[in-house]
Structure 1
Amino acid sequence: MKIIRAKEFVAERAWGALDIANMNGITTRLHWTDKPYQWHTNDGEEVFVVLDGIVEMFYRQDGVELSTILEAGDIFFASIGTEHVAHPKVASRILVVEKEGSV
């Protein structure tokens, strides 16, 4: 059993993570960041939940770059092959559920 106070979590570096669970190869991690990630494509599906902060999520759809603003409580689902990158507007805490070993 674990109780995690997400709003209290701060990592030593951008995109640092607290491992919460690994359920049959699916990981759940709490990330803290104040800097953009990198463009990437997961080899599995990804659920990206903004718990605290504001994140601009850039993604490519049919070769066109788009973006949306995600605030606390918003969820971004990346299907297999969705190229995307997260840019926090402020320090943010994000819950990510994805296949173990994903970028």
Structure 2
Amino acid sequence: MKQYLIDGLSPQDHERLKAYLDEHHGPCDLGAIYWIKLEQALLTPLQQEHTLCAPHFFALELGRDYLSCELLVRIKTNIKCDCMGYATLEQREWLMEFADGLLDTLRITV
């Protein structure tokens, strides 16, 4: 699986990230998975056509000392669909900026 991984988080960083993600993107699913909705303007033409699959998400996993951001655009309505797939360059940049911005907002340095 392709991912953007931020590791080296302290226990305090973990708690601050968890509190923020719970408040703004929670509750988490499957233990420590958060679903981050992809902005409509960033969807590919195929993803835009698949209105029944919408919304499209990135999955973030908050581990004890890491934040893993999958670079796979997912949907919750089906296990598999043609509109799911690895992020485009623009989607990938958006996700990485989202994760880096989250650290900046919480004043977490790694």
**TM-score, structure 2 as length reference:** 0.27
Greater helix percent: which structure?
Answer: 2
Q: Which has the higher contact order (CA 8 A, sep 6+)?
A: 1
Greater strand percent: which structure?
Answer: 1
Larger radius of gyration: 2
**TM-score, structure 1 as length reference:** 0.29
